[in-house]
């Protein structure tokens, strides 16, 4: 075994031992989103203000009169997490200028689920990115409105059965493809956009640290497995995230000033069937639909590889 | 001395804006009662890599004095992620009771 492999193996022991998202929160067993939040807080450290859109994470972490957060935290309505984060950032800037708070680097982080990012909170997010506030937005994408009972959202993948797009005789789950939020954020010309998954914790934490160090808006799209909504055993939460990456459904990459870079490139792309057959929400899919999904996933993955190979960073394009 | 109330009993007890002033107070509630299976750590197989620690959604696994990992059963919900991800297979899930 090489030194590098050894380092990777023992890397979990090097991370911050402080828990900013304490135990006792009421997430379901095996919640990938709670895990992702815990890792994100470890990477951010204590000088952080968290703005939380409505969603699973708000509901499970703060059962009044208790809170699971050890960081300053504010809950806002579904559509305006990014707008409130922009306000918090501007407020901190003014208070620092007037000498009311000590002059130290405090990062404002907005978090939201896929409903609060893809659908309802989209215009506020777009506005914050456009105005260029020093805000990190992390989207925890569990691919439906899990909190209210698995309704379809813009992030639900093709063919997934949800309570508002149920599979049956007449329909086979959601009939539309998933919205590519990462590309939309890249189109806002923000300095840092990345995708991540909690199944690759060191990679995810490195991306959060990088985004924290950047001055200006940044966006991280984190796939988080929901065992309840995806109909998988709670023990398979990490495995499903890993399969999503290895099948090419959710490639891990980052876009730094226009330059695409794959942070994890599987040696061999597995067939999407490996990912789909383990989940109850896809159990009704016919072989034809599976072929269609495979075709689309391969196309999207190749499109991404093309961008990785051919696109240059803004600095290179300037002269 | 006034006894600390567990929760507000009427609306006058509520803080303005329903603010909570005690960080991390969710620890008062023990989610361990949800558990159907408990993890058993086999120290002879454990290589102390910390994979169980990093993948625990509760953050209830910690290192003890000898450097081995153990779960805080007050908070462990028994999801089985640690047992599934532990590649030396040092963790087993056994049924409660």
- CATH at residue A106: 3.40.50.970
In a domain, A50, yes or no: yes
Determine the pLDDT at residue B13.
Answer: 83
What confidence tens digit (pLDDT) does each residue in A303-318 have? 999 999 999 998 888 8
ipTM for the whole predicted complex goes beyond 0.95:
no
| Pick from A63-67, A143-147, A279-283: least confident | A63-67
Residue of A23, A199, A226, A228 to mutate, interface with B, max B Cβ within 10 Å: A23
- Going from N- to C-terminal start, the domains of chain B cover 41-97
* pLDDT at residue A178 greater than cutoff 90: yes
Q: Check if A228 contacts B (Cβ < 8 Å).
A: no
Cis peptide before A65, with omega less than 30 degrees from 0? Answer: yes
pTM (two decimals): 0.92
Q: Which chain B residues are closer than 8 Å to A24 by Cβ?
A: 26-31, 75
User: Please, what is the angle between helix A32-44 and helix A237-246, to 10°?
Assistant: 80
Inter-chain CB proximity B80 and A63 less than 8 Å: no
Q: Whole-number mean pLDDT of chain A?
A: 91
In a domain, A6, yes or no: no
* pLDDT at residue A3 greater than cutoff 80: no
In a domain, A240, yes or no: yes
Q: Which chain A residues are closer than 8 Å to B50 by Cβ?
A: 10, 12-13
In a domain, A4, yes or no: no
* pLDDT at residue A160 greater than cutoff 60: yes
Number of structural domains (chain A) is: 1
pLDDT band per the 50, 70, 90 thresholds, residue A60: very high
**Is A159 within 8 Å of A171 (Cβ atoms)?**
no
The whole-angstrom separation of Cα A237 and Cα A142 is 11
Determine the pLDDT at residue A18.
Answer: 87
Determine the pLDDT at residue A1.
Answer: 43
Q: Which residues of chain B have pLDDT under 70?
A: 1-4
**Helix boundaries (H) for A98-135:** 122-131
What confidence tens digit (pLDDT) does each residue in A220-275 have? 999 999 999 999 999 999 999 999 999 999 999 999 999 999 999 999 999 999 99
| Minimal Cβ distance to A29: which of B29, B50, B78 | B78
Range of the structural domain that residue A86 is part of:
11-318
Query: Tell me, which fold does domain B41-97 have in CATH?
Result: Alpha-Beta Plaits (3.30.70)
In a domain, A1, yes or no: no
In a domain, A2, yes or no: no
Give residue ranges of B with CB < 8 Å to any A CB.
7-8, 18, 20, 22-31, 34, 48-51, 53-60, 62, 72, 74-75, 77-81, 83-85, 93
**Long-range contacts for B3-8 (Cβ within 8 Å, ≥24 apart)?**
B7/A64, B7/A65, B8/A65
């Amino acid at each position: 075994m090489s030194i590098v492999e050894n380092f990777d193996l023992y890397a979990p022991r090097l991370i911050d031992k402080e828990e900013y998202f304490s135990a006792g929160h009421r997430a379901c067993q095996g919640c990938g989103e709670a895990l992702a939040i815990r890792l994100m807080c470890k990477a951010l450290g204590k000088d952080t203000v968290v703005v939380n859109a409505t969603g699973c994470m708000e509901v499970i972490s703060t059962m009044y009169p208790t809170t699971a957060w050890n960081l300053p935290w504010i809950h806002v309505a579904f559509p305006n997490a990014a707008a409130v984060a922009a306000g918090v950032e501007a407020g901190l800037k003014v208070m620092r200028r007037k000498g009311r708070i000590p002059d130290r680097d405090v990062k404002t982080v907005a978090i939201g689920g896929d409903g609060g990012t893809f659908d309802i909170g989209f215009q506020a997010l777009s506005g914050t990115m456009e105005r260029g506030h020093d805000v990190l937005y992390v989207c925890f994408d569990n691919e439906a409105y899990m909190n209210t009972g698995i309704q379809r959202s813009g992030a639900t993948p093709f063919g997934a059965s949800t309570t508002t797009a149920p599979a049956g005789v007449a329909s086979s789950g959601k009939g539309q493809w998933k919205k590519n939020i990462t590309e939309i954020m890249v189109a806002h010309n923000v300095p840092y956009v990345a995708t991540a998954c909690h199944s690759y914790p060191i990679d995810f934490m490195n991306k959060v640290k990088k985004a924290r160090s950047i001055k200006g808006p940044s966006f991280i799209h984190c796939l988080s497995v929901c065992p309840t909504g995806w109909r998988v055993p709670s023990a398979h939460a990490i495995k499903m995230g890993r399969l999503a990456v290895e099948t090419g459904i959710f490639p891990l990459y980052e876009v730094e000033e226009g330059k695409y870079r794959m942070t994890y490139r599987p040696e061999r792309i597995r067939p999407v069937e490996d990912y789909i057959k383990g989940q109850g929400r896809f159990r009704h899919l016919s072989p034809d639909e599976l072929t269609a999904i495979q075709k689309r996933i391969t196309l999207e993955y190749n499109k991404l590889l093309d961008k990785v190979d051919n696109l240059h960073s803004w600095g290179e394009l300037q002269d | 001395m006034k006894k600390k109330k567990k929760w507000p009993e009427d609306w006058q007890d509520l803080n303005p804006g329903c603010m909570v002033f005690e960080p991390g107070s969710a620890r008062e509630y023990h989610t361990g009662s949800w558990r159907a299976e408990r993890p058993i750590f086999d120290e002879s197989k454990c290589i102390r890599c910390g994979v169980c620690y990093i993948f625990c959604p509760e953050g209830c696994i910690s290192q003890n004095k000898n450097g081995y990992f153990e779960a805080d059963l007050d908070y462990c919900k028994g999801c089985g992620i640690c047992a599934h991800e532990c590649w030396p297979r040092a963790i087993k899930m056994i049924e409660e009771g």
